[in-house]
Chains A and B, each alone.
Chain A
Amino acid sequence: MASTAAARPLTADPEPPLAVHRSLRNRISARLGAVLLVAPGVIWLIVFFLVPLGIIFVVSLGTKDAAGHVVLDRLGLQNYAQATRPEYLPAFANSLRYALITTILSIGLGYPIAYWISRYGGQRKILLLILVMLPFWTSYLIRTYAWMIILRDNGVLNGILRSIGLIDEPLILLNTDLSVILGMTYGFLPFAILPLFVSIDRLDPNLVQAARDLYASGRGAFLHVTLPLTMPGVIAAALLTFIPAIGDYVTPDLLGGAQTTTAAKLIQVLFTSGRDWPYGSALGFILMIATLGGTLLALRSLRRETFA
């Protein structure tokens, strides 16, 4: 495959970029341009993003002394051995479970909304999208805190349910699996709706009409035309919810209570009060590999969908 095609799978490029123009002057200015335009950002990302990620890996092979300082004398895989011991598996299992359920729910709830905005939004499409994004522009932390107010034993929801006589005793809603999943889905739903909207809105309604004209049922046209053609949006939405969800420790911490452990929460404790950086780094590195693996899988299927 040509490397240029691999680099830009999603954008059409009708005009040849500047550097393709033949003159020597242009070629020199393109090289100069690359140095002036691209180099500063690239250097920044290498120094403050790639190098630190590499350091995580080195530290994850080390040990700590009594004061909690990192010791890099004898490098080994002991932290990884510890991380995969059975008693730590629930944390990883929880992370994965929360992230997967959140992703499925976000797409399940987000798809109909995106579809509705695209097909029935009319003149108000942009406003409806802004309303979806408005919660995203207000602090995630603050919104999570609002859910605590709603879900507490003596909170808003229990108050409403009690006053209309549906329950006598307050339901235990906060600090459960349910509240964590609800909080995460709430937090990441806008991330799902946006890419779904973009791909649904781009779909030519005539294609669906053609399928209907050829006697496809409404469901058939959706399953065989609409859904496959909007798959890139679905995959993008899955990535945009799965990645923040698997690394989230704020929601499990605030809405899950003390007994809910996730990998990210373990890492947070190990780097703050627990102070075991090498072990925390090993957990972080495992989380990174899991996330990158999932991302690459998703991107590969996205590429296949796009060029199918």
Chain B
Amino acid sequence: MGIELTLEGITKTYGKVTAVKQLDFTVKAGELFALLGPSGAGKSTTVNLIAGIEKPDQGDIKAGGSSILDQRPQERDFAMVFESYALYPHLTVAENMAFPLRAPNRATRYSAADIQKRVAETARMLEIHELLARFPKELSGGQKQRVGLGRALVRDSQLFLLDEPIAHLDAKLRHHMRGELKKLQKKSGRTTVLATPDYAEVVAMADRAAVLNHGVIEQIGTPVELFGKPANVVVAQAIGDPPINLLDCQMANRDGCLYISGSGFSVQCNDRLAAALRGLPVGATASLGIRPSEITIHQDPARGLIRGEVYVFEPLGGEAVATVNVEGKLVKVLCSWSSRLKIGDKVSLSFDLDTVHVFNRDTGRALYA
């Protein structure tokens, strides 16, 4: 069974660079908790701090309620998967996978038969059972990554640390591995921390996630919360592809009704939006966030709320991304391929006010989500 993991006020600096700052979060026992952020956000530093490879400057890390800061990595005994595989080149796949089970100073001893059984089972799950006799140099990148995963999964560790574990796999295998990893994690009930820059992976696998940016946690929540109710602009931009559109807007009072308007559009607020924005001074600029999937594009320029001109149209297979120039601001719309728009086409856009987000333009904080 997994253990509970807590980070309390963790800060780590390298020289003058602060890698992570005041991290506070608890990963519940048996939970799959993701660290989501672009490269340089502090994900790997956090994973290394938990593993004991790095020491924090400040703060405490607790596993199962007691501090583990004084424990060396091998004492913590967390199973870790690196993006860079880190396989032993002179050992076969089977030997690589069995390696942690044979390590001399582990608490648990495994019999030869048990080792063989564990390696075989894990290899089958990862679809590398036909590669067991090969050496790492005879494997593709995706295969190496799965061997790296296998080496971590083969033993009973209380905590799994996965640092971009499926980044190098092709699309089909990635979907397969997401499903398999999640299933395995739930079945074993092992607490797992997953670092990834890919929001789709987080949505597919994580129970909860922390969005990291420049070493700071922006928001912690379930994937549904992060997507539907982002606390700020950074979180809104971290989830969704293409990323959320942000348009400058102002509040205006006309005939007793509140309007939200910007260059190219003016929309009457519904009650909920009006209530949320009441505190904002009239004339103040805010940021209107609309997801590309929540916008409908009309070939009739008079039909929608915002008029624009097609800047570029990119069919992507099943669907397409239309980029629309709205008075100098480019807005992305996810639409059907069959719309076959051309550069320069006059179009209009509409959206439902229930699906938009409004952010304070200076602080980035969400006013309405």
Is the pairing of A and B real?
A: no
A-side residues, CB < 8 A to B, are: none
